[in-house]
A and B are shown apart, each in its own frame.
Chain A
Amino acid sequence: MLRATKDIWENRHALRSQFYVNIKTTVATTRLGLLWWILDPLLLMLIYYFVVKVIFDRGGPNYHLFALCGIVTWQSFSRSITLCTSSLTSNAGLIKQALVPMVLYVIISPLVQAFFYLIGLMIIMVWNWPVLGFQTIGVFILVFLMVLMSFAIGLFLSIFEVYIRDTGKLLSYILRFGFYISPILYSPDRIYEIASIPDYAKTLYSLNPMVHFITAVRDLLFFGRMFDYLPIVITFGVTLCIMQIGLVFFRRVSPYVPKMI
């Protein structure tokens, strides 16, 4: 982890320029330009609001905000992972020309998505301003955790994608499934309440880090209270372990990558 930090720090200028490229090129050719950063989560919210509230007539008061918390979080997570996965294969040209450590290409997407995530969260904050308070600063911890989580997973997936190009395809199905087993459109309490779900399945469900993550986001921005420390601290710990293993794995394998892409 120290070595990766050093690598990234030494190439911070390259990181900065890549960050800039990524942020700018998502909107460079569109008419609405920067507005897309804001429009994107809002449009998604509108779709799910329509499905859940209008068609199924479910969800509680302020359901749009409740759903928005989950949607922006999940969007950020699933996009960073998807982009991480293709980070090595899609940057083949750069990898073969520039002498920048490859780990840089993997971390760039989580960072860029974190930027968009912050914008998404900011929309919620503005919308739901009465609940803001001292605890709101906690979102920075969560955003940071999000970067680490997707980076840790991305380290593995990016390498898998190089050797087995089916990874990305498979991932899109897994993420779709993940969308429904995470409490994005509903509250996790809903799962715990259902009697027909066996206890072991509920325990399994609570192992999903996204459950705790989204709950924490909602505590902060929807209910306006501090989140539970314990699940977040545990998630942090597990993430750091996985990241360390991922970095070692990445360092071992990455010299062979340029030939494969």
Chain B
Amino acid sequence: MSEILINAVSQPVKAPQPMVTFSNVGLCFQKHASIFDLLFGRKKKDREFWALQNISFTVCEGDTIGIIGRNGSGKSTLSLVCTKIYRPDRGKVEINGRVQLLALGVGFEKQLSGRENVYINGSLMGLKFSEIRRQIDDIEAFADIGDFMDEQMRTYSSGMKSRLAFAIATAIRPEILILDEVLATGDKAFQDKAMERMKNLQSLARCALVISHNPAQLRKLCNKVIWLEKGKIVMQGDPETVLSAYSAFCANPKEWMAKNNEEPNHPKIIVN
């Protein structure tokens, strides 16, 4: 009893620790240049493409942040900056913790069996073989793909692949989990199960970024949503506000722009 009391005293309600901090991040791609471009002067500036501009946000412990936006708005690029795989050209990124990015079917070797792929994928995520061996039953049970576990990966449906990928990535308990449209596939039963596990991860005081095109899912999971358009943040804040604005926008993007007179240059930030 006393122990609990001591704990309660020594750990007052502390401010949640920031896990991911972006300040004014910009990222620029060089478009492919052939030797003719170099000789006959297309200017360097024309060959640049800014995939992200002036991105600032913070993800704290226990947060689940949703990222929404049209195709090509920079969502996946953003997730790659989070994993430190892309180095930003402008601004600063601070990340405290082990990050795992989960995208569909990447790194699976389709000539090998599902079980072998668990080992391969797990080891690429930095697990030891002994750790994987300990967890493989758990992974198998969660993926729930039956005998296909020992079949070659090329026979898998895309839903099965994402089941397995999700099972592996969440089994390693990363501190920061980034899901790039993984929850989209898979049947209803699996989505519910995945959702539950996501909630579990949240309760373990770790944080997650979820990229999705499904507003309902984001509403259920996230406590904050970021809306990207043309590499800039249009809006960030509580899911309800952002998502309803986004749906209004999606109904007719051009008109919305005109009406709100809002090129995404001036992000409207809602802090809740």
Residue ranges of A at the interface with B (Cβ–Cβ < 8 Å): 11, 13-14, 16-18, 20-21, 24-25, 28-29, 93-100, 255-256, 258-260
Q: For chain B, residues 87 to 143, give those with C-beta under 8 angstroms from any C-beta of chain A.
A: 87, 99, 101, 103, 106-107, 109, 111-112, 116, 119-120, 123-129
Residue ranges of B at the interface with A (Cβ–Cβ < 8 Å): 27, 29-30, 80, 83-87, 99, 101, 103, 106-107, 109, 111-112, 116, 119-120, 123-129
CB-CB under 8 A for A97 and B101, given A14-B124, A255-B87: yes
Q: Are B125 and A98 closer than 8 Å at their CB atoms?
A: yes
In the bound complex, what is the Cα–Cα distance between A255 and B106 (angstroms)? Answer: 20
Give, as a whole number of angstroms, the nearest-CB distance from B257 to chain A: 29
Residues of B within 8 A of A258 (CB): 80, 85-86
In the bound complex, what is the Cα–Cα distance between A28 and B120 (angstroms)? Answer: 16
Q: Are A11 and B112 closer than 8 Å at their CB atoms?
A: no
Give, as a whole number of angstroms, the nearest-CB distance from B83 to chain A: 7
Residues of A within 8 A of B112 (CB): 21, 24-25, 28
Give, as a whole number of angstroms, the nearest-CB distance from B256 to chain A: 31
Q: Are B103 and A13 closer than 8 Å at their CB atoms?
A: no
Residue in contact with A13 in the complex, picked from B80, B99, B101, B123, CB distance below 8 Å: B123
Give, as a whole number of angstroms, the nearest-CB distance from A15 to chain B: 8
**3 A-B pairs closest in CB distance:** A98-B124, A17-B123, A13-B123
CB-CB under 8 A for A13 and B128, given A97-B101, A99-B99, A258-B80: yes
Residue in contact with A93 in the complex, picked from B80, B87, B99, B107, CB distance below 8 Å: B107
In the bound complex, what is the Cα–Cα distance between A18 and B116 (angstroms)? Answer: 11
Residues of B within 8 A of A94 (CB): 106-107, 124
- In this complex, the member of B85, B103, B128, B129 whose beta carbon has the largest number of chain A beta carbons within 10 angstroms is B85
Give, as a whole number of angstroms, the nearest-CB distance from A254 to chain B: 10
Residues of A within 8 A of B119 (CB): 17
In the bound complex, what is the Cα–Cα distance between A100 and B125 (angstroms)? Answer: 8
Q: Are A99 and B87 closer than 8 Å at their CB atoms?
A: no
Give, as a whole number of angstroms, the nearest-CB distance from B138 to chain A: 19
Q: Are B111 and A25 closer than 8 Å at their CB atoms?
A: yes
Nearest neighbor of B27 in chain A, beta-carbon distance? A259
Q: Are A14 and B126 closer than 8 Å at their CB atoms?
A: yes
CB-CB under 8 A for A99 and B123, given A25-B111, A28-B112, A258-B80: no
9 extra interchain contacts, Cβ-Cβ under 8 A, other than A93-B107, A259-B87?
A: A17-B124, A21-B120, A93-B106, A94-B106, A94-B107, A99-B126, A100-B124, A259-B29, A259-B30
Give, as a whole number of angstroms, the nearest-CB distance from A105 to chain B: 11
